[in-house]
Amino acid sequence: MGRADERAEALRNHFDGKVALVTGAASGIGRALAAELIDRGATVVVSDVDQPGVLAVAEALERVTGGTDAVPSRAIAAVLDVTDADDVAELVARTARDHGGIDFVFNNAGIGIGGPVSDLSLAHWQRVLDVNLWGVINGVHAAYPIMIAQGHGHIVNTASLSGLLPSPLLVPYSTTKHAVVGLSVGLRMEAAEHGVKVTAVCPGVIETPLLDKRNPDDLPATDSPDIRAMLTALVGQPYPAASLAADVLDGVARNRALIVTPGHARRAWAAYRVSPQLLVTQGADRMRKALRGAQSRHA
């Protein structure tokens, strides 16, 4: 076996026999992370507020693992609203109690809120803060003390490239993702002395149902842009969620502080660090052109 093969095997084996909890696992990135964790030998609690969705995911993963009465499945479904701190704490504690500890918590659940800031109500801001930021805080608050007591554990928070770059027409979403990056990097520095690791995941445009979702129907209507068309025009075709999940787990195994992927995301982040003003100026022009192009295609 060559050295590269040995490294790849070590990355996969990092999760073998470990226990992980994934929020927002009924679809998109969360589902892909759960599937990749199962493939790498982990036992996974797949959780989501979408009960039919998370039950379907767990059932599909159970077929992969071959769970039987004699050999329990490594995929366990749990209905969870990440905005409910008590429910999050209960599920994390139960997972640790039932499995003799908890090795990974993937705070992944999130929603998108888009549209011009001038059109957004406080209800829009409150909803995205509750899910995207408080959902992560609730997960950290529940898992961190348990991991300190264990002397090990890894918290993985899903942020976004929008947590590293300005994102017009997605400002509330971007605000929460910047906060998740700040939370994760700051906590990582504190957590190291306790043997606990923390990573923020900052993906670019990923092929998930979130690209096609408008703002929640129970919130005031806004002139929400076609996010898929706009982002595709700006950066190209979305990256498959399964490929992202493999990148993320490899980065977690390497204990990366930030996982920025795929290539288009790393290039955009590098350009912003070199010349923030240039990217902001050119990005605004490109965004306007992308919106015009998307609108003309849908006219």
pLDDT at 211: 75
pLDDT at 111 over 70: yes
CA distance 249 to 158: 12
Contact (CB, 8 A) for 42 and 35: no
Clarify whether 173 is annotated catalytic.
Answer: yes
Range of the domain at 248: 3-297
SS3 content of the chain, % helix, strand, coil (to 5): 60, 15, 30
pLDDT at 8: 81
Contact (CB, 8 A) for 157 and 198: yes
Quick one: pLDDT band at residue 288, thresholds 50, 70, 90?
low
pLDDT at 72: 65
**227-244 pLDDT, tens digit each:** 777 777 777 789 999 999
pLDDT at 70 over 50: no
Give the pair of three-digit tokens for residue 37.
């964790």
| HEC profile of 114-143 | CCCHHHCCHHHHHHHHHHHHHHHHHHHHHH
Counting the structural domains of the chain, the total is 1
Taking alpha carbons only, the member of 159, 236, 164 closest to residue 200 is 159
Quick one: pLDDT band at residue 294, thresholds 50, 70, 90?
very low
pLDDT at 292: 57
Under 8 Å CB-to-CB from 282, ≥6 apart: which residues? none
Least confident of 158-162, 215-219, 289-293: 289-293
Of the residues 144, 173, 239, 272, only one is catalytic, namely 173
Least confident of 10-19, 20-29, 97-106, 190-199: 10-19
Quick one: pLDDT band at residue 297, thresholds 50, 70, 90?
very low
User: What CATH number is given to the structural domain containing 127?
Assistant: 3.40.50.720
pLDDT at 114: 86
